[in-house]
Amino acid sequence: MINESKINRLVQKPSKGLVLLSSWLLTEGYSYELQQRYRKSGWLKSIGHGAMIRTGDPLSLSGAISALQTQADSTIHIGGRSALELLGLSHYLQVNSREVTIFADGRFVCPSWFIKNKWDLEPKLNCLTIFDDFETGLVDYQDGELIMKISSATRAMIECLLLAPHQFSLYEAYEIMEGLTTLKPKQVQELLIQCKSIKVKRLFLYFAEKAGHSWFKHIDVNNIDLGAGNRSLVTDGVLVSKYQLVLPKDLV
């Protein structure tokens, strides 16, 4: 006989669309046998090995990301331009409006259920290590009933520059930077100090200075490791000597 209090708690408590990981349910007191009985009884629906949703719930990308963050202590999160759009800071829609830019630590192993399912939005995953502490610069975001971590504006800008120029346009990155008039200099300073990419730090500072943001004068550039030697991001570009960057002529 199914324990009614347990099934009621499972049906009523989780946010709509939240993926339920079998390993997490086990720690919450739902044995594998009990989980199987719930699936056979129609309360839960399997969406792949080790993952379920409540019957009737949608396949929500936010529900999958929230589950990986809270139930599996995963580094995955929405970042880059997609995070800026969620924060209302990007007026430039992605070419594919269903596509969501996702980031995770370079050591992240994407579970098969995440890869194989067709979510309400299409994830584009980038596994890159840019900070020692992967939670650096993440903020809480609520999507309906679901709560998850996404990149703050400063981190999202850093992630856009991380993908430039091959996966993200330098011109679009500068246009986005122009709109970031309210960044907090303390957070900018902290994230640039922790950032592992010399290219990204130089681009961020150059674009911010070029855009004329008032917060830029509060950044201690001398306390940020900018490495040595030129970084060429395009062929036949122009050298920005202050930041040792070779960029398109239109951006210099």
pTM: 0.93
CA distance 7 to 35: 10
Question: What is the reported pLDDT for 7?
Answer: 76
| pLDDT value of position 5 | 76
Can you read off the two tokens belonging to residue 214?
């008032």
In the structure encoding, which two tokens stand for residue 30, read together? 């739902």
Determine contact, residues 157/177, Cβ cutoff 8 Å.
yes
User: DSSP secondary-structure letter at 93?
Assistant: -
Q: Cα 23 from chain centroid? A: 24
Residue 90, Cα to own-chain centre: how many angstroms? Answer: 15
User: What pLDDT was estimated at residue 1?
Assistant: 43
Residue 21 exposed, middle or buried by CB count within 10 Å (0-12, 13-18, 19+): buried
CA distance 232 to 31: 56
96 secondary structure, DSSP code: S
For the chain, which residues make up each domain, given as ranges? 4-54, 61-251
Question: What strands, in cross-sheet order, belong to the sheet with 122-127?
Answer: 122-127, 99-104, 77-78, 146-151, 138-143
CA nearest neighbour of 87 among 35, 155, 133, 40: 155
Q: Which residues contact 5 (CB under 8 A, 6 or more apart)?
A: none
Question: Tokens standing for 162?
Answer: 């991380």
Tokens linked to 229: 């030697």
User: Rounded to an integer, what is the distance from CA 229 to the centroid of its chain?
Assistant: 30
Q: pLDDT value at position 14?
A: 79
Query: What single-letter DSSP state applies at residue 60?
Result: -
Q: pLDDT 10s digit of each residue in the chain, 252 long?
A: 455 677 778 777 778 999 999 999 999 999 999 999 999 999 999 999 999 999 999 999 999 999 999 999 999 999 999 999 999 886 655 555 789 999 999 999 999 999 999 999 999 999 999 998 989 999 999 999 999 999 999 999 999 999 999 999 999 999 999 999 999 999 999 999 999 999 999 999 999 999 999 999 999 999 999 999 999 999 999 999 999 999 999 999
- Structural tokens at position 41: 């009884």
Cross-strand pairs, 119: none
CA distance 22 to 36: 10
